[in-house]
Amino acid sequence: MKGFAMLGLNNVGWIEKERPVAGPYDAILRPLALAPCTSDIQTVYKGTLGDRHNLILGHEAIGEIVEVGRKVKDFKPGDKVIVPAVTLDWRNIDMHSSSQQLVGRKYSNIKDGVFSEYFHVDNVDMNVALLPEGISLESAVMLTDTVSTGFHAVELAEVEYGDTVAVLGTASISLMGVAGAHLKGAERIIVVGYSPDLVKAAKFYGATDIINHNDGPIVEQILKITKGTGVDKVLVAGTDSDAITDAVKIVKLGGRIGNVNHFGSGETFSIPKIEWGANTSHANTINKEIPGGRARMEKQIELVKYGKLDPSKIVTHVFHGFEKIEDALAMIKTRPFDLIKPVVIM
């Protein structure tokens, strides 16, 4: 089968591999929709996972099942399903101990990803969710990672109704953090943004204030509009390591920072001692891998199905045809001004 792979550091291309084989609880799928991610770029060009060779990229996919293992009960060939970026081996003891969800981060890491003519899913009964009629492929593929990760920042920050929330980051995941905070009842949502497309989407999802970094340091701007009090919660997603420093400076004493950012470069973070209260501020910074599994996907599908969430608004570029994976990934690398998220439809 054909796949688009990391051939080595700073090198991508098409390769041929054997079609994967389904174990008794697993399934083989063919992609219907794919989306590249900034973490794919960081894997190849910043070496965040080391020097991998001939590793098929990609972890965001909607697929059609073509083969199931003999012990699969809930799915059959022909089913169209949403595949979360994190697929868990529910029979692995690490899943029930300290590693938790991190052991499910497999695609383009410890196994080939989804940018191929066929891809493998572990424990399919527990990992994928049926795609209902009427939900577009563009919306559905956003649920696999972008929505799930943005929402997880909201969960980690424990956003509550009436909160003032700052979202640090200018990416699709940041926008889903905005959407999640709005659904949780945040009173005020402050977003850092500058491109017209991102600002428009942020307002659609519930942003009340837009901060442009070209107008000065964002910490100063946020403290000014909050009259020096700062914010209750901070979401860090789709940005660089400096955002951790900024988050500490703007969060209130006793506040909470939900960090889901994938830091592709830098060795350390800077935590400002004064704003951190010399470790007595009672402000918490929580960092975790996004959850995976079927139940989470099914909950997110219901939000789309019943009109509570429209993730298609973050899809700015749609490619058609399997071979366009290469172009879509290149777009993530070059990041044109009007880009939020590209999708490839088969």
Q: Please name the residue ranges forming H helices in the chain.
A: 38-45, 124-127, 137-142, 148-157, 172-183, 196-205, 218-225, 242-250, 294-305, 325-334
Q: Both ends of the chain: CA-CA distance in Å?
A: 16
- In the chain, domain spans: 2-146+290-345, 150-287
Q: Residue 314 has what DSSP assignment? A: G
277 band by pLDDT with thresholds 50, 70 and 90: low
pLDDT at residue 197, rounded to an integer: 92
Judge contact between 137 and 303, C-beta under 8 A: no
What is the tens place of the pLDDT at every residue in 109-150?
889 999 999 999 999 999 999 999 999 999 999 999 999 999
- What average pLDDT is seen over the chain? 90
What is the tens place of the pLDDT at every residue in 149-163?
999 999 999 999 999
For the record, the structure tokens of 109 come out as 């890491």
Reported as half-sphere exposure (CB side, CA atoms, 13 A), residue 16 has a value of 0
Q: Residue 213 has what DSSP assignment? A: G
pLDDT at 102 over 60: no
Q: 150-287: what CATH class? A: alpha beta
Query: 294-305 and 148-157 helices cross at what angle (nearest 10)?
Result: 100
pLDDT at residue 175, rounded to an integer: 97
pLDDT at residue 194, rounded to an integer: 83
pLDDT at residue 267, rounded to an integer: 65
Q: How far is CA 145 from the centre of its chain?
A: 4
Q: Residue 91 has what DSSP assignment? A: T
- Give the position of tokens 């704003």: 275
What is the CATH number assigned to the segment(s) 2-146+290-345?
3.90.180.10
